[in-house]
Amino acid sequence: MSTPRVLVLRAPGTNCDQETAFAFEQAGAVACCVHVNRWLESRWLAEDYQILCLPGGFSYGDDLGSGRILANQLRHHLSDSLARFRDEGKLILGICNGFQILVKSGLLDSADACGPAVTLTWNASGRFIDRWVGLRVASDRTPFLAGVERMFLPIAHAEGQFIGRDEPTLERLEQAGQLVLRYCQSKSCPKQPFNPNGAARDVAGMCDASGRVFGLMPHPERFIDRTQHPQWTRLPAFEEGDGLRLFRNAVQYFA
């Protein structure tokens, strides 16, 4: 098995890059945290990597909206590099702020002649939400979720409500199997509303048509060890956190 190299892209305000790199390393990859300015200086920098990850945090302080500034940098200055990276059969992952960047940069290929088909906007409550949620895999479209049925992961976001342009657009994405991850009721949080932000069709994650570009709002890097579970001392023993499977799937994709 080859050892894939992961480029964890960071920018001012990114704060989950180290945890994400650690999660990939625990799954068997070699991970490097790279500032976006280094990539802008050397457009061929990503050629040495097989996986690109846009981690969580608040890139550029989310000053113009979550992920908007970094998404514009990628779209206007690195679009050729990103297209080449994707066309070579490599993987791209966006977590929380990274998912917002994927949507707003066009990397998920969700736009059409009428404009953006989907977006991520303010939670229905209008407030920042920080809690754990139940998740179910609704499609086998992406290799990141191969063999996964359910997960229990933390979320932490203010602009995580997934919405579509209209119902026909959502139905088209549904039929294509791109709405791959949904919020669902969890035994660990029976009294909490299972859809925390009002997302359309309970969507927590989406992939592109190829399945190799995947974004999700929950944080898998925050649950790779059993001791990170909020109730780990009261649960039967288990070996690892639910999030680790996602990173291991990415590594095994290049076996």
Is 163 within 8 Å of 202 (Cβ atoms)?
Answer: no
Catalytic annotation on 33?
no
Q: What is the Cα–Cα distance from 23 to 4, expressed in whole angstroms? A: 13
Is 223 within 8 Å of 153 (Cβ atoms)?
Answer: yes
**255 — pLDDT class (breaks 50, 70, 90):** confident
Closest CA to 195 of 123, 244, 143: 123
Catalytic annotation on 219?
yes
The reported pTM is 0.96
Kindly state the percentage of the chain with pLDDT values over 90. 89
pLDDT at 182 over 70: yes
Q: Which is catalytic among the residues 16, 53, 207, 219?
A: 219
Average pLDDT, the chain: 95
Determine the average pLDDT of the residues in 1-9.
90
Determine the average pLDDT of the residues in 66-91.
95
pLDDT at 91 over 80: yes
Q: Which residues pair with 92 in a beta bridge?
A: 52, 213
User: pLDDT value at position 121?
Assistant: 96
Catalytic annotation on 32?
no
Q: Which is catalytic among the residues 53, 157, 207, 221?
A: 221
pLDDT digits (tens, 9 = 90+) for 16-64: 999 999 999 999 999 999 999 999 999 999 999 999 999 999 999 999 8
70's enclosing H/E stretch is helix 68-77
pLDDT at 110 over 90: no
Q: What is the Cα–Cα distance from 75 to 93, expressed in whole angstroms? A: 16
User: pLDDT value at position 1?
Assistant: 54
Q: Which of 67-71, 92-96, 149-153, 236-240 has the lowest mean pLDDT?
A: 236-240
Q: Which is catalytic among the residues 53, 96, 157, 207?
A: 96
pLDDT at 214 over 90: yes
CATH of 5-252, one of 3.40.50.300, 3.10.20.340, 3.40.190.10, 3.40.50.880: 3.40.50.880
